[in-house]
Amino acid sequence: MTRDHHPVETIRVSKKGRDQLMRIKRHTGIRNWNTVCRWAFCVSLRETSPPRPHKIPVDSPLEMTWKTFGGPYHDLYLALLRHRCHEDGLGVDAETLAHQFRLHLHRGIEYLAGNKKLRSIRDLTGLAIGASTG
């Protein structure tokens, strides 16, 4: 795999995920989709159990490239994904990585959107460090 090629070239978010991201953006004041998606991905990775395998529809126009998602740290996010797949006993082939990324992203979006105490960036950072939000 070349340095510029990643198993997840384009990230597509479901309509439900897009609606949840809009709510998260509104509550936190974060302006960019990719920033909220990074938080969501990391929140999911923090969970000890693997995400439940299910089909996530591609029914929204919201999409971004892998490099937009990860910004200057896109290689680090890929390494985190590879490590998590390895820890979960999964392969690290391109198809598995792409599927697991999508599952983690959407699970993280659901967690953030479902957290009634998430009302600010401070609450979001509290989640990241394990502090109580409230």
Q: Is 38 part of any domain?
A: yes
Kindly tell me if the per-residue pLDDT of 66 is higher than 60: yes
Query: What value does the mean pLDDT take over residues 109-129?
Result: 86
- 3-class DSSP state of 22: helix
Kindly tell me if the per-residue pLDDT of 133 is higher than 90: no
Q: Is 5 part of any domain?
A: no
- Residue 78's contacts (CB-CB under 8 Å, 6 or more residues apart) are 6, 7, 8, 66, 70, 97
Q: Are 96 and 105 in contact (CB under 8 A)?
A: no
- pLDDT for 126 equals 80
Q: Is 23 part of any domain?
A: yes
69 or 60: which carries more pLDDT confidence? 69
- pLDDT for 127 equals 76
Kindly tell me if the per-residue pLDDT of 134 is higher than 50: no
Q: Is 2 part of any domain?
A: no
Indicate the number of domains in the chain.
Answer: 1
By percentage, how much of the chain surpasses pLDDT 90? 75
Range of the domain at 17: 10-129
Strand-pair partners of 65 = 10
Give the CATH number, domain containing residue 78. 1.10.1220.160
Paired tokens of 120: 């600010």
Paired tokens of 29: 């004041």
Q: Is 59 part of any domain?
A: yes
The 10s digit of each residue's pLDDT in 2-61 is 445 677 889 999 999 999 999 999 989 999 999 999 999 999 999 999 999 999 998 988
Q: Is 3 part of any domain?
A: no
- Considering the chain, what is the average pLDDT of its residues? 89
- pLDDT for 125 equals 82
- Residue 46's contacts (CB-CB under 8 Å, 6 or more residues apart) are none
From residue 71, alpha-carbon distances to 74, 112, 119, 132 in Å are 6, 21, 25, 29
Q: What is the rounded distance in angstroms from the CA atom of residue 73 to the CA atom of residue 3? A: 13
Q: Is 1 part of any domain?
A: no
Q: Is 101 part of any domain?
A: yes
Q: Are 11 and 65 in contact (CB under 8 A)?
A: yes
77 or 4: which carries more pLDDT confidence? 77
H helix or E strand, kind and range, residue 128: helix 121-129
